[in-house]
Amino acid sequence: MPVDPSIESLLALINSPGMPGLAAGTPDEARRNFRAFTVDVRNPSTLVPVASISDVTVGALPGRVYRPDGDGPVPTVVFFHGGGFVLGDLDTHDDHARWICREVGAVVLSVGYRLAPESPWPGPVEDALSAVRWASEHIDSLGGDASRIAVAGDSAGGNLAAVVAQDCRDAGGPAIAAQLLIYPATDFVEEYPSMAENAEGYFLTGTDMAWFTTNYVPPTADVSDPRLSPLRGRLEGLPPAVVVTAEFDPLRDAGEAYAAALSAAGVPTRAHRFDGLIHGFFAMTVASPAAEKALRESCASLRELLG
């Protein structure tokens, strides 16, 4: 199907002359551009309301806790933001965490992990793992239910969530009850057809992907290492998963390959492919009713998995 009409207007802005791409300039310049595009233009009145928000320190990392309405124990979702492991922070993905908090009925701990190239792989992986362990140790002051800790993330954050789920299984804990992988990067080995089909014109480009990879992956790294490419890992015994993909996304096929592999390994998996949408649609709900509907459907699946 064609790009959703509500997304077309956003793409016209993104692709307009003079609009910097995600990979424009140095990493610091790209970060400033990304914040300008996501945070600086945001109307605070459009942010999803939650019961409370507080900043915390997660070990040595910045974190932010979002609490839903209601009393009693609730699930805790540890959320890792996207941005190609180079961009993004707690502010750029503030509304992602708000939506998940409200729609899932969970406490969300959003984590500001270290970024590449200053901290290339496996630095962000180590941060993500330490954040989940911190959440488990502090579960009484978070959601209060140790049996319902989930991991979630979009794009690069989806990669980290998938890697954490595998590591926690292999390490014997903390126990992860579910995972929400939003257009995740799952494989640095294979070049999938969607990488070429959607390489230009749909926000995340092939040039962006190459730049992110150069900054994140050391030249000596084994790209088949499951902590880098979770699709290459052992998938049996992983927690139930919700895997979200978008039709016009370079990462579409890798995400769908991961969903299929999880299912083949016996992992209860809910795969949502949203036609007409692009990479990053979780941040486009204000402008796109289709994106909001897709986000709500994705969160509803996680809510059902967590009970």
pLDDT of residue 71: 87
What average pLDDT does the segment 137-151 reach?
98
Band of residue 1 on the pLDDT scale cut at 50, 70, 90: confident
pLDDT of residue 18: 85
Structural tokens at position 30? 């790209």
Q: Which amino acid is present at 217?
A: V
What average pLDDT does the segment 166-190 reach?
98
Residue 298: domain span? 5-306
Q: pTM surpassing 0.85?
A: yes
pLDDT single digits (tens) 31-56: 999 999 999 989 999 999 999 999 99
The strand pairing partners of 289, in sequence order, are none
Closest CA to 78 of 186, 227, 231, 180: 180
Instruction: Please give the mean pLDDT across all residues of the chain.
Output: 97
Rg (Cα) of the chain, in Å, rounded? 18
Residues recognised as catalytic: 155
Give the chain's domain count: 1
pLDDT single digits (tens) 191-248: 999 999 999 999 999 999 999 999 999 999 999 999 999 999 999 999 999 999 999 9
Domain with 139 in it: what CATH number?
Answer: 3.40.50.1820
**CB 135 within 8 Å of CB 76:** yes
Element (H, E) at 96: helix 94-104
Residue 165 and residue 145: Cα distance in Å, rounded? 18
pLDDT of residue 14: 92
